[in-house]
């Protein structure tokens, strides 16, 4: 039987994604740094707080975050584990609706405001159209998320960022998939006067041939696409029912692309 491994797009085995909250005006500088280095990420916005100063202009959301992902952070940023479930549902759905009118695509991600979550909220999110949700804290790990509704990042940018980045770059064993996930708030760079930290990190991480640069939802979609692949019993052919192409490695040979909607011999 053929031995098949899932790969990230382009046949890569490492992925990097970023996640930043609140939509503060400093996102403009952060996005520019990302774009200069080919880094991509997700920006979680509160649709009800754009009138509170020091925020990006709602009219610039579609252009500012182009090439990145806009995702939910609830309407008003409450500590949702203390709220009734119907209120939580409304906070998420209203945020989705407002953001979707400005982005033109389904908004399917969430970062928990104040890191607040309960089992009941986690269970409810799929019915609200949410595919993943990020918690706070740092895992110090490059492992893939086991529970996408309690997705913990590798690190906050103020926690061992350069050290972990250097460790990530050295990973070479292609029998594994690795993910580095960085989170934070863009205003923190201004508060701590350490913009050089993220500038140096992005310069170091950008342009690497073995890294897939993705948004949070692109990562999750990639994993979901692989689960839908339909393999023959002996792994000698596969059908890809997805619209997107999928990449796999067969018997440790060079990765191959399985086009969307096609059957391919392995």
Give the per-residue pLDDT at 211. Answer: 98
Q: What is the pTM of this model?
A: 0.97
Q: Which two tokens stand for residue 13?
A: 């085995």
Give the per-residue pLDDT at 53. Answer: 83
Which residues of the chain are under the pLDDT cut of 70?
Answer: none
Closest by Cα among 185, 143, 156, 160 to 45: 185
Tell me the pLDDT tens digit for each residue of 58-108: 999 999 999 999 999 999 999 999 999 999 999 999 999 999 999 999 999
For the beta carbon of residue 54, count every other beta carbon within 10 angstroms: 11
In sequence order, the β-bridge partners of residue 250 are 4
Distance CA 176, CA 14 (A): 9
Contact 177, 145 (CB under 8 A): no
Q: Which two tokens stand for residue 39?
A: 């880094």
Q: 13-224 has which fold?
A: TIM Barrel (3.20.20)
Distance CA 61, CA 210 (A): 31
What is the residue extent of each domain of the chain?
Answer: 13-224
Give the per-residue pLDDT at 11. Answer: 96
Contact 185, 22 (CB under 8 A): yes
Give the per-residue pLDDT at 166. Answer: 98
Contact 237, 263 (CB under 8 A): yes
Distance CA 31, CA 81 (A): 31
Give the per-residue pLDDT at 87. Answer: 98
CA angle 138, 52, 75 (to 5 degrees): 60
User: What percent of the chain is helix, strand and coil (3-state, nearest 5)?
Assistant: 35, 25, 40
Give the per-residue pLDDT at 27. Answer: 98
Region of residue 18 (left: phi > 0; alpha: psi -120 to 50; beta: else): beta
Distance CA 139, CA 131 (A): 21
Distance CA 168, CA 171 (A): 5
Burial of residue 127 (number of CB atoms within 10 Å: 0-12, 13-18, 19+):
exposed
For the chain, what percent of residues have pLDDT higher than 70?
100
Which residues have C-beta within 8 Å of that of residue 146, sequence separation ≥ 6? none
Q: What DSSP string describes 159-195?
A: SSHHHHHHHHHH---TTS-EEEEEEE-THHHHHTT-H
């Amino acid at each position: 039987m053929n031995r098949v491994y899932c790969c990230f797009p382009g046949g890569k085995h490492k992925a990097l994604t970023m996640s930043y909250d609140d939509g503060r005006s400093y996102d403009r500088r952060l996005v520019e740094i990302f774009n200069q280095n080919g880094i991509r990420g997700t920006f979680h916005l509160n649709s009800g707080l754009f009138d509170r100063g020091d925020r990006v202009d709602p009219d610039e959301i579609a252009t500012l975050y182009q090439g990145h992902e806009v995702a939910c952070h609830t309407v008003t940023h409450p500590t949702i584990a203390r709220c009734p479930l119907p209120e939580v549902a409304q906070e998420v759905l209203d945020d989705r609706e407002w953001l979707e009118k400005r982005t033109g695509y389904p908004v399917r991600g969430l970062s928990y405001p104040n890191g607040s979550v309960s089992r009941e909220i986690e269970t409810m999110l799929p019915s609200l159209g949410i595919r993943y949700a990020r918690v706070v804290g740092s895992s110090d790990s490059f492992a893939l998320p086991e529970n996408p509704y309690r997705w913990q990042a590798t690190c906050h940018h103020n926690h061992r960022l350069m050290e972990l980045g250097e460790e990530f770059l050295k990973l070479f064993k292609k029998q594994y998939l690795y993910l580095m996930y960085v989170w934070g708030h863009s205003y923190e760079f201004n508060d701590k006067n350490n913009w050089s930290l993220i500038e140096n990190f992005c310069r170091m991480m950008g342009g690497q041939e073995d890294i897939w640069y993705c948004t949070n939802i692109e990562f999750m979609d990639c994993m979901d696409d692989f689960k839908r692949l339909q393999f023959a019993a002996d792994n000698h052919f596969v059908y890809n029912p997805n619209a997107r192409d999928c990449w796999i490695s067969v018997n440790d040979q060079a990765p191959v692309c399985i086009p969307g909607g096609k059957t391919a011999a392995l």
